[in-house]
Each structure stands twice: as C-alpha cells, then as structure tokens.
C-alpha cells in the first residue's frame, strides 16, 4: 500500500453542488480534485438512473440534458434511450410533445461528437435507437399538418434535423424507404416552400440531412423500381440489376420507342440516388453515396464554431466558404444567429455564483457584440434565385431582434436594398412558428433525488464537511494555545512516542527519565509493520497511547488531525494516506453531553458532534456511518448495537478514556456504545495512566507519550523566545538539571516560559514587591510559586468579569501588586486548596 499515491484533497474543503450546472462545471474543470471528480461522476450517473425511471417528469428534463457533455459512453447511451422513451411515449394517442423535451434532446444529441471522437477505434458505434424517434416524429408531423399547427411543426422539424445530424455523424442507414424515408422526404420538400421563414429554413436543413442517410433500398433496387414502371416487367431488367450495370437495361426492350422514356426515368433515378452524376454511364463507376448540398455541411461547421464561441473563426469561415452567397446557407446562418442570441438572453437567468455574476455578464455582452458584427458581414447572395425574399425577411428579423442601429443597421439595410431589384415579390412571414427557448429550469428535483441515493457523493462531501469542521474559524480547534493566550504553530509541536510494556504504566510522576526514549517511535511510522515479543511481525491497527497530564496526548490528536486534513499542504504523515480516508477525532468526555440511549449508534454521534448545523447533516451522518463500518462496500457489518463492524478506511481517534472510565461499567446505559467504539478495527485510544482497555478487546501495541527531549526543549525556547531571553533561560535551566527534567513535560515548559523574562521577572510592569517575590526562582518551590501567582493574575479579568461588582480589566490588573492579586482571588484560592486536599485524601486523581 505504501506505493499508492496519497488521496488528492482540495486546499479548501468544498461544498456539494446544489445545481446541475455547477456539477457539470466542476467535472469540466481540470483543477477539480481526483476524489471530487470520482464523487461527481457517481452523482451524475445516479441522476441518469433516476431520470431513466421517469423521463417525462417536467422538472427532470433540463438537468438530465445538461449531463450529456460529461457522461461516459455507457451512461450517455442510457440518457439517449431515456429521452427516446419520453419522445415516443404518447405518439399513438395524440399527446402533445413538450417543447422543452425536444430542445433538451437536441442538446443531448449534439454531445455525441465528444464520445465519438474519444472512441474512434471502438468497433461498436454508439447505439442511439433513433429509428423509433423518427417514426414518432413522422406521425406527429402528420397530425400537426392536418391541424395546421406551424409552431408544432417547426419544433418537430427542428428536433428532426438534429436527430438526422446525429444519424449522419454515426453513419446510420437502413431507414425503411416505403414507410418512413420517402414520406419524410416528400413532406420536408413541401414544407421548404412555406411562407414562414423559420419553418422553411428548418425544413430545408432537415431535407438535406435526410438526403444523405441511405434507406433500406440499395441503388440497384431503386433503379429496378423506377425502371419497372417504364418497361413493365421486372424480368426484362433482372440482368441489369444483378450486375449493377444500367447499360444492360437496353437488352430486352421491345422497341426503340421506349428508349426516350427510359432514359428520362434513369436520369431521375440518378439524381435522387447519387446526386453527383449526370449520365447513365457514370452510375456504374460511382460508389459514392448521396451527399447533401454544400451549404448543409457548411452550416454544420458554423454551428460548431458558434457553440465554441469562436467568433473570429466564424467570421473567417463566412468570408471564405464557397457557398457563402447561397441563399440557403445565409438563411440557415441567420437562424443559428437568432438561436444563439436567444440563448445568450436566457443565460442571464441561469444560476451562477454571485462572485462570478459580473464576469458572466461581461462575457455575455461580448458575445452579443460578436453576434451583431457577424450579422452584418454576409455578402450579397447570388442573384437570379427565386428565394431572395427569404434573405430579406431574415435580415429584417435579425435587425429587429439584435437591436441593430447606426452603422451596423445601415450596412444591413444597404445590402437588403440591393436585393430588391432582383426578387420576385413573394411575401414571407417571421411572426409565427418560432418557439423561443425556455429558460433553463432552476429545479433541483433530479439532482436532489439522486443526491440522497448516491453513497459515494454523500461520503465524499461528508468527508469535506468533516474537514471543514476541523479547520473552522481559522483552524481554531487545532491550534495549540499557550498559557499566555498566544498560539503555537503545529510545526513547533514535538510528539515523542515510545513502545512500552503494560507493566511500565506509572502513576502521575512529573519527571522523565532518559530511559523513556529508548524505544522511541516516529509518528509517521506508527502503523508500520512492527516486531512483537512473540516474534511475529504484522501491521498494527489498534493502538493504546497513554501519558501523564500535560505531556501531549491531546496535542498528539491535534497533530494527527492537522496532518490528515491538510494533505495538499503537509506530508508529515504521508504514509498514512494510503491507509486512511478520514480521521474521526472524538474527545470521549463529550459522550457525557449526549443522550446515550440504548439504541445510540455511530450515525447519532456523527450527527451530534460533526454535522449538527448542516442541512444535510442526517444524510451525511448516515452515509459516513455506513462507510466507516464497511456497509457501503458490501460487508456483513452490523451497526454498533449488533456487534462487529466492517473494516473501512476510517481511523478512530478516541481521546481520553480516563475521562469516561465510569462508562466502562457494564451496567451503564452507554457501556455498549463505548465498547463498540473501542473495538473499531483502526483506532488510537489515549488515556492517562491507571486506565486499561476492557477485556476482551484486543490491542496491537501500547505506546507512551514521553514529552520533549533536551534538544527539543532548547529548540522550543529558541523558537518562541527572543534571543537574549532564550540564552539566559537556557543557561538557567542547564544549571538546574532537576528543573530541566521537569520542563520536558510540555505544559510545564509553557508555564515556565510564561513567567520568564530577561531579568527572570514577570513581563508585566509590576510593583517592586511583586518584582522581588518573582525575581527569585532559586528553588523548585520558587518556580511553582511564581507560576501559581502568574496564573492567578492571568485569570482575574475572566473570574472578575463585567458581571462582578469588583470587575477588573487587563489594564487595572497590570497595576496590581502580587499581594493584591492574591487578596482579590482569596475565595477561589481557598476553594482549589480544599478541592485538592479532598482529592488527596480520597486518592482521586480525576475530578468531575
């Protein structure tokens, strides 16, 4: 496991996406962390699964379509099939097709190119099941035609054009000629000539797209079908068909009188089947399928350029493309510009982070300027065509929609006026048949339902919220606070652990011996394979760490949490990352704060401790509880009330077993839950001496926190004190070995540093009596007395706060002499003395 790379965390904990557009944006963002990307992909596929069950649900459609650009091949197919089911449902009973559904399906189909490009070597094409959609579209078109619903016709044909584009890209073929291909061709050919400019353009485009999709009748069969109508007998042309040689059609003709009619029919067949050749002799040599006109191909490219916001490229393309003067090309490009313009208008309503709103608006305004510029650079179309009125109608429409004025409007108007001389006066309309795109739905119904079903996403974002909990308020929870109130950087905190025997547990002695460091273990290697006394080496997973008061057990916990929640910045425990995904630091004394009823379990304490203020707190707690016990990976684990849990990749950091020793009583209502916690497969349990993990719970190894080495004491002092002061302090300590040994306990070193200055006086400006009493620290009693007095002085403002009649501020405390401080705190001093005597008398070391 050591060879695995550490999990990748974002520098700052991330919140879950609350909108599908945010989910898509993160997956397309190259800076998204590896672990979040995995969670987001799982959430996206869960959304597809939910949509598959209810593809016609109105508030699912837009969000489902938005997923198309980020899905893998398999789930993209599922998404397409779900839309196919939705589009074909209700075809026979005349149900109205939702415009939103059509628009969304078009967006989905346009994402197929991405998958196709990434799988060029894949022998299996993307199966989109578009045949049933074409049949449904045909039936719905027939119904709309009978009811003269131009708006519905436009919506259907616009969708049909995109479906046919997708079929062309995937090289689909085999549409049934008699029932579907030919009727659609005839209907589109008719609709190309309608007066509405949008319906006419959409029909022309769809016609060209359909033209390049072969039906299920090959060229030879098509030739046979047309020729039999003339010759009157299939047997006469059997040889020609079998050899695909049209010249043999002449063999078996009854008379030369049939020849002109036959040739006329042949030419019609060639034009409709190949569209590239002009005489019968070329048919035999030609193996090229029917091709659409050049303007159709050009519009495919212009659409891609516009979608990519490559407006400079689009401008160059318009100026250079051979069909730039073609009326159909210009009308199609105007239609694309209109759709792009409306999409920009509605982008103002799309959800976006408030910090990015201004940038979004700038981008939209720039795109609008680019579209206005594109709209007026079209060259004058070819003269002599019958449909120049179409261009004029489109230009008038664009001028109004884009709000063109001044120079731009004059240029467009001038080009339009030049056409007026050449057109036949056929009137075109732009008032009907255009269904403006719906605003993108702001519903989160699909995302929300999938979110609560997606364990991987729930666990990842629960881990992120766990990190946020640890790092909240400037990492206040993880700061090492000195007695002075200042904080100590984690890099200046030293953790020394030594392997110990159970019999070596001592009472609360306050001095350290050099022998304590004989079996010192580095924190990073705590879980490494270690030799046991029985000679068997195995990976440690359950550790018991004990240490006397103030020696650094809680600091050890903070160090572990600090390192494991800041993996991107620190590598102090790099080898732990291959083993653990998360650390649950639980100060066990907090168990007393919760209602530990008999049914209390891990999800309850996760909610109480870490996610109490989270809107998704319950979901996070339950998902993380399943993950921590292995339930999400198919373990046969039970909850904490059922015994053994799963392995998981969770480190339980159980701090302060000595503080809940009474819960170890088998009669206590929380005993079962505490035992379950202590039995976690990956656990570090800390305690003061004198408390043991109850049987039959097993431990792999015991360690002791042994305080600082002499070198670390020196390094601590030189790091935290001014140079002159630290030199004086170190000289003082080295002249008193017993005192030096005492300050190897971190809390005592901090207290000693707190009362020290260059004259071995407190840093406050005290009266002369205080200076005389605290300047003499020749004995251990002097040291403890100085520390005690300094601590009482520090606590006066807190104890005698604003609510007290004799309140003090920091400023007033600085003016008090030492005897005045002790007089003011006399009541508190007597109380602590009585408490200490009672504890000594009853041999109690832990007071509650």
Q: Is the residue at 398 inside a domain?
A: yes
Short-list 249, 211, 243, 210, CA closest to 227:
249
Q: pLDDT-derived band of residue 308, with 50, 70 and 90 as boundaries? A: confident
What is the model's pTM? 0.75
Most confident range, picked from 32-41, 303-312, 803-812:
32-41
- The token pair at 818 is 């030492």
Q: Give the per-residue pLDDT at 514.
A: 54
Compute the CA torsion angle 764, 769, 774, 780 (nearest 10 deg).
Answer: -160
In a domain, 161, yes or no: yes
Q: Are residues 539 and 596 in the same domain?
A: yes
- Give, as one character, the DSSP assignment of residue 480: E
Rounded CA Rg of the chain: 41
| Statement to judge: residues 555 and 697 lie in one domain | yes
Mean pLDDT of 750-764: 65
* Tokens representing residue 492 in the block: 């200046």
Q: Which of 371-385, 432-446, 456-470 has the lowest mean pLDDT?
A: 432-446
Residues 647 and 681 sit within 8 Å (Cβ to Cβ): yes
List Cβ<8 Å contacts ≥24 apart for 607-612.
610/465, 610/466, 610/469, 611/462, 611/465, 611/469
**Is 693 in the same domain as 831?**
no
* CATH number, domain with residue 677: 3.40.50.300
How many domains is the chain partitioned into structurally?
5
Residue 340 dihedral angles phi and psi, to the nearest 5°: -65, -40
Specify whether the CB–CB gap between 163 and 298 falls below 8 A.
no
Task: Kindly give, in sequence order, each residue whose CB lies less than 8 Å from that of residue 328, ignoring residues fewer than 6 positions away.
Answer: 201, 204, 293, 295, 296, 387
**Tokens read off for 472:** 């909240």
> Is 172 found in the same domain as 99?
no
Q: Are residues 152 and 103 in the same domain?
A: no
18 within 8 A of 27, measured Cβ to Cβ: no
Residue 654: is its pLDDT beyond 90? yes
The pLDDT value recorded for residue 809 is 76
pLDDT tens digits, one per residue of 351-368: 555 666 676 777 788 888
Whole-number percent of the chain with pLDDT over 70: 70
Say yes or no: 94 and 134 in one domain.
Answer: no
In this structure, are 496 and 566 located in the same domain?
Answer: yes
> Cα separations (Å) of 119 from 114, 115, 123?
9, 6, 9
pLDDT tier at 773 (50, 70, 90 boundaries)? very low
The two three-digit tokens of residue 367, written as one number: 């795109």
Residues 211 and 347 in one domain: no
pLDDT tens-digit readout, 776-800? 666 778 888 888 888 888 888 888 7
Average pLDDT, the chain: 76
CA angle 528, 533, 539 (to 5 degrees): 20
Q: Is residue 100 included in any domain, yes or no?
A: yes
- pLDDT band for 188, please (50, 70, 90 cuts): very high
| Beta strands 497-499 and 701-705, pairing class | antiparallel
At residue 257, the 3 state secondary structure works out as helix
Give the least confident one: 331-335, 538-542, 752-756.
538-542
The Cα-based distances of 399 to 338, 347, 409, 814 in angstroms read 10, 21, 7, 79
> To which H or E segment does residue 683 belong?
strand 683-687
Which of the pair, 663 or 436, is modelled with greater confidence?
663
In-domain check, residue 160: yes
Same domain assignment for residues 701 and 716: no
In a domain, 684, yes or no: yes
Measured on CA atoms in the order 365, 368, 372, 373, is the torsion positive or negative? positive
| pLDDT tens-digit readout, 577-606 | 778 889 999 999 888 887 777 778 899 999
Residue 567, pLDDT score? 59
Q: Six-digit token pair at 27?
A: 């997956």
Residues 194 and 136 in one domain: yes
Q: How far is 732 from 740, CA to CA, in rounded Å?
A: 9
Please tell me the least confidently modeled range out of 249-258, 435-444, 506-515, 689-698. Answer: 249-258
> Own/partner pairs for 184-190, CB < 8 Å, 24+ apart?
184/134, 184/138, 184/160, 184/210, 185/210, 185/211, 187/138, 187/141, 187/142, 187/145, 188/157
Task: Find the helix packing angle between 182-191 and 150-169, rounded to 10°.
Answer: 130
**Domain-embedded: residue 596:** yes
Give the domain range for residue 398: 297-405
Which of 201, 216, 231 represents a domain boundary (last residue)? 216
Residue 313 has pLDDT above 70, yes or no: yes
Distance CA 402, CA 369 (A): 10
pLDDT digits (tens, 9 = 90+) for 720-733: 888 888 888 899 89
Asked if residue 106 belongs to a domain, the reply is yes
Distances (CA, A) of 332 to 102, 199, 201, 387, 396: 19, 11, 6, 13, 15
Helices then strands, counting H and E runs in the chain, come out as 35, 11
**Residue-level pLDDT at 3:** 47
Of 27-31, 43-47, 482-486, the poorest mean pLDDT is in 482-486
| CA atoms 254, 259, 264, 269: torsion sign | positive
CA distance 115 to 128: 12
Which residues, other chains included, contact 320 with Cβ-Cβ below 8 Å and sequence gap of 6+? none
- Same-domain pairing of 489 and 590: yes
Q: Report d(CA 45, CA 73) in Å as an integer.
A: 11
Split at pLDDT 50, 70, 90, the class of 406 is low
Question: Of residues 621 and 501, which shows the higher confidence score?
Answer: 621
Say if residues 285 and 295 touch (Cβ distance below 8 Å). no
Tell me, yes or no, whether 618 lies in a domain. Answer: yes
Q: Could you give the C-alpha distances from 550 to 491, 646, 708, in angstroms and in order?
A: 18, 35, 11
- For residue 456, name the pLDDT band (cuts at 50, 70, 90): very high
Per-residue pLDDT, 571 = 57
Q: Are 404 and 412 spatial neighbours (Cβ–Cβ below 8 Å)?
A: yes
**Is residue 326's pLDDT more than 50?**
yes
The dihedrals phi and psi of 499, each to the nearest 5 degrees, come to -70, 130
Whether the upstream peptide bond of residue 696 has omega within 30° of 0, thus cis, is yes
Residues 6 or more apart whose CB falls under 8 angstroms from that of 824 comprise: 796, 800, 806, 808, 816
Predicted confidence (pLDDT) per residue in 225-282, tens digit = 555 554 454 444 444 444 444 444 444 444 444 444 444 444 444 444 334 333 333 4
Instruction: Give the per-residue pLDDT at 132.
Output: 87
DSSP state of 248: G
The CA distance from 17 to 454, in Å, is 13
Distance CA 89, CA 11 (A): 48
Do 720 and 670 reside in the same domain of the chain?
A: no
Q: What is the pLDDT of residues 86-139, one digit of tens each?
A: 988 877 666 677 778 888 888 888 787 777 555 555 556 677 888 888 888 888
């Amino acid at each position: 496991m050591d060879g695995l790379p550490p999990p990748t965390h974002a520098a700052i904990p991330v919140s879950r996406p609350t909108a599908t557009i945010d989910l898509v944006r993160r997956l397309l963002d190259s800076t998204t962390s590896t672990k979040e990307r995995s969670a987001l992909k799982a959430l996206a596929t869960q959304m597809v699964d939910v949509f598959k069950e209810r593809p016609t649900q109105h508030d699912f459609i837009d969000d489902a379509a938005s997923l198309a650009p980020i899905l893998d091949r398999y789930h993209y197919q599922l998404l397409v099939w779900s839309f196919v089911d939705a589009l074909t449902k209700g075809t026979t009973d005349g149900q109205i097709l939702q415009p939103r559904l059509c628009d969304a399906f078009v967006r989905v189909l346009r994402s197929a190119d991405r998958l196709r490009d990434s799988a060029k070597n894949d022998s299996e094409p993307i199966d989109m099941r578009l045949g049933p959609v074409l049949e449904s579209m045909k039936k719905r078109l027939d119904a709309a035609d009978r009811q003269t619903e131009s708006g519905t016709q436009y919506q259907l044909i616009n969708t049909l054009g995109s479906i046919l584009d997708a079929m062309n890209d995937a090289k689909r073929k085999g549409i049934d000629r008699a029932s579907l291909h030919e009727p659609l061709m005839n209907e589109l050919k008719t609709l190309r000539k309608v007066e509405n400019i949008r319906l006419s353009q959409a029909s022309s485009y769809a016609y060209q797209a359909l033209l390049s999709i072969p039906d299920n009748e090959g060229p030879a069969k098509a030739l046979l079908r047309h020729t039999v109508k003339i010759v009157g007998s299939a047997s006469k042309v059997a040889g020609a068909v079998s050899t695909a040689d049209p010249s043999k059609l002449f063999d078996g003709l009854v008379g030369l009188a049939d020849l002109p009619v036959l040739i006329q029919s042949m030419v019609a067949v060639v034009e409709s089947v190949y569209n590239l050749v002009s005489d019968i002799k070329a048919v035999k040599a030609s193996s090229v399928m029917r091709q659409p006109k050049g303007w159709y191909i050009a519009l495919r490219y212009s659409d891609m350029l516009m979608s990519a916001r490559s407006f400079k490229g689009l401008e160059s393309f318009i100026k250079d493309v051979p069909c730039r003067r073609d009326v159909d090309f210009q009308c199609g490009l105007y239609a694309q510009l209109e759709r792009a313009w409306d999409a920009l208008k509605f982008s103002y309503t799309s959800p976006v982070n408030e910090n990015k709103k201004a940038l979004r608006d700038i981008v939209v305004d720039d795109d609008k300027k680019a579209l206005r510029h594109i709209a007026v650079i079209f060259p004058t179309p070819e003269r002599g065509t019958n449909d120049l009125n179409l261009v004029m109608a489109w230009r008038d429409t664009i001028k109004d929609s884009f709000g063109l004025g001044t120079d731009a409007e004059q240029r467009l108007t001038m080009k339009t006026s030049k056409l007026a001389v050449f057109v036949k006066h056929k009137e075109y309309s732009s008032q009907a048949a255009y269904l403006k795109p719906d605003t993108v739905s702001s519903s989160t119904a699909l995302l929300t339902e999938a979110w609560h079903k997606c364990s991987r996403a729930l666990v990842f974002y629960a881990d992120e919220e766990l990190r946020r909990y640890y790092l909240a308020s400037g990492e206040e929870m993880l700061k090492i606070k000195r007695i002075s109130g200042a904080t100590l950087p984690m890099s200046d905190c030293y953790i020394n652990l030594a392997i110990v025997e159970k019999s070596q547990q001592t009472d609360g002695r306050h001095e350290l011996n050099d022998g304590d460091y004989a079996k010192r273990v580095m924190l990073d290697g705590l879980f490494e394979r270690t030799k046991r006394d029985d000679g068997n080496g195995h990976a440690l997973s359950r550790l018991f760490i004990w240490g006397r008061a103030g020696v650094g057990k809680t600091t050890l916990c903070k160090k572990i949490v600090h390192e494991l929640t800041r993996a991107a910045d620190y590598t102090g425990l790099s080898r732990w990352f291959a083993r653990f995904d998360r650390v649950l630091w639980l100060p066990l004394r907090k168990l007393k704060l919760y209602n530990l009823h008999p049914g209390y379990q891990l999800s309850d304490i996760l909610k109480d401790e870490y996610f109490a203020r989270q809107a998704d707190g319950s979901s996070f707690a339950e998902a993380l509880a399943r993950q921590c016990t292995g339930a999400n990976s198919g373990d046969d684990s039970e909850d904490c009330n059922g015994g053994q849990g799963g392995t998981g990749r969770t480190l339980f950091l159980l701090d302060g077993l000595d503080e809940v020793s009474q819960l170890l009583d088998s009669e206590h209502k929380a005993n079962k839950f505490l035992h379950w916690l202590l039995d976690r497969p990956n656990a570090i349990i800390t305690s003061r001496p004198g408390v043991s993990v109850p049987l039959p719970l097993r431990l792999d190894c015991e360690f002791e926190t042994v305080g600082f080495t002499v070198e670390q004491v020196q390094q601590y002092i030189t790091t935290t004190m001014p140079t002159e002061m630290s030199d004086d302090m170190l000289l003082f300590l080295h002249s008193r070995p017993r005192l030096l040994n005492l300050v190897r306990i971190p809390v005592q070193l901090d207290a000693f540093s707190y009362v020290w200055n260059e004259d071995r006086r407190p840093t406050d400006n005290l009266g002369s009596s205080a200076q005389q009493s605290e300047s003499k620290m020749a004995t251990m009693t002097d040291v403890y007395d100085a520390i005690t007095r300094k601590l009482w002085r520090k606590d006066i403002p807190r104890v005698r706060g604003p609510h007290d009649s004799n309140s003090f501020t920091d400023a007033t405390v600085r003016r008090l002499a030492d005897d005045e401080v002790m007089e003011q705190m006399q009541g508190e001093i007597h109380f602590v003395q009585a408490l200490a005597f009672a504890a000594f008398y009853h041999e109690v070391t832990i007071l509650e």
